Structure 1
């Protein structure tokens, strides 16, 4: 049974690095459609009044910022953070939860992402994670919630995130533009983390968030030098997405 569960968890989007760009993009876009948060659920969250009784978009944003702090504290990768946010948004879009359960749900999504993206030797104990995040629930509470999260997401853990698209697009644009260098991908990743902390971006496809960040970066670079080749490469990308 554990082996069966493990194989379900690794509904992978990795291993495609050697494929041509068009095939990598096609595979990611096909999975993106299946792993989007439900818009109707996000709208319920967005329209909720902040009376302490119902989950709100603002509460979601605070939780994501807490997960970003945890990511930095442990020195975990951008992949881990992006995946944790993806899991959280997908779960919140299909399950109505009480605000008091949000920190447990958020930490479970984070823990699943850590176990999926990080080296096994770097995965902290659940009780350490609870203690460091200053939560009061127990390890058994967390394990029960983790099972609920995984079941509600049908064990589809490794969804394509905006980070996957951003890295793929960045490398494509850089290759197409030749001598015109685009900003380092780390700079764009930092901006993406800020986007993750804002509920408004949850309703957009990850591929579009990544493309918009890249296009904006090229326009900002325009102030300091020629970017025609970069612009052409971004336009080419847009064609691939339409």
Structure 2
């Protein structure tokens, strides 16, 4: 039976926060495994940070192609990083592992009517393995992760923190922090290996602080900063740790904004899909960017 963490319910913020913090560590990738990936040479024989980042970007493109939720993407990355940190896989198996983690996330987060057939998912992602290969790999992944799927991801923390902050602000100050923009920034961070070693709660907090810092409205930003400072104390996050991760967020977003993938050529997809899948897809999905644009600030 799949072990799940109950999603945020209409409970007091402190109760929701404690429930997520208490289990956060159980869903963290293994640091030793991440270090092995980080130190591996890019010779095609071992998993590397570059290969992991390329796979995440492919999953982001698939997420946009199908119109899946941010929850699906974030959960897929959580599953992928946990598995990669626990198992030494060969690069040739990465696409199967990535797609299986994605499919597990889809089945866990999306409505049943929106879940594609495994065969269609394989064709659209242009992979050459079979549905049987996927089924075997999915079983391996679930067993290695002890059937624990619904992790308290950085996205869940981000939404919880954002809602908590907004409740304490006036109407004008609430306009400063756009959840849509914050979620887009988080997706960009997911594409960078450096954030695999950072706790989801700390990453979510750093994103909020970075976004508040980027605004140029002292009156409203001061109010937000005060609320964020109180939240930082509740989370028992050290100033040095928060500053370090906030700087990593800024560097990541700068690199993301200047990458060649940021200005796509709009090339049409040439993927083979079934008639059933084609009828379900919106026309806009036939022309996607490899990496999406982060929305401009409200200001």
Task: Give the counterpart of 2:222 among 214, 228, 235.
Answer: 228
2:20 and 2:5 map into 1 onto residues whose CA distance is 10
Rounded Cα–Cα distance in structure 2 between residues aligned with 1:124 and 1:10: 23
In the alignment, which residue of structure 1 is the partner of 2:38? 46
Pick from 198, 201, 209: which aligns with 1:204?
Answer: 198
Alignment match, 1:97: 89
Distance 1:10 1:117, change over 3 A: farther
Unaligned 5+ segments in structure 2 are 237-299
CA contact (8 A) 1:37 1:90 kept: yes
Cα RMSD between the aligned structures? 0.9
* More moved, 167-176 vs 193-202: 167-176
- Could you tell me whether the CA contact under 8 Å between 1:84 and 1:112 is conserved in 2? yes
Q: Distance in 1 between matches of 2:60 and 2:115?
A: 16
Distance 1:83 1:31 in 2: 15
Tell me the residue number matched to 1:60.
52
Alpha-carbon distance in 1 for matches of 2:26, 2:117: 31
Q: 1:168-227: CA deviations, max 9, x gaps?
A: 000111112233123220100000000000000000000000000000111111x13421
CA distance in 2, matches of 1:158, 1:166: 16
Give TM-score scaled by structure 1 length: 0.94
How is 1:62-77 mapped onto 2 (pairs within 5 angstroms)? 62-77=54-69
Match of 2:4 among 11, 27, 33: 11
Give 2:291's aligned residue: none
Distance between the aligned counterparts of 1:219 and 1:106, measured in 2?
35
For 2:5 and 2:109, the matched residues in 1 are separated by 11
- Aligned partners of 1:53 and 1:99 also within 8 Å: yes
TM-score, with normalisation over the residues of structure 2?
A: 0.77
Distance 1:13 1:51 in 2: 42
Task: Find 1:24's aligned residue among 11, 16, 30.
Answer: 16
Aligned 8 A contact 1:48 1:54 in 2: yes
Which of these residues, 119, 122, 127, is aligned with residue 111 of structure 2?
119
Cα distance between partner residues in 1 of 2:70 and 2:15 = 24
**Runs of 4+ residues deviating >6 angstroms:** none
Aligned length: 233
Contact kept in structure 2, 1:176 and 1:229, CA below 8 Å? no
| Unaligned 5+ runs, structure 1 | 1-7
Match of 2:168, SS state, is helix
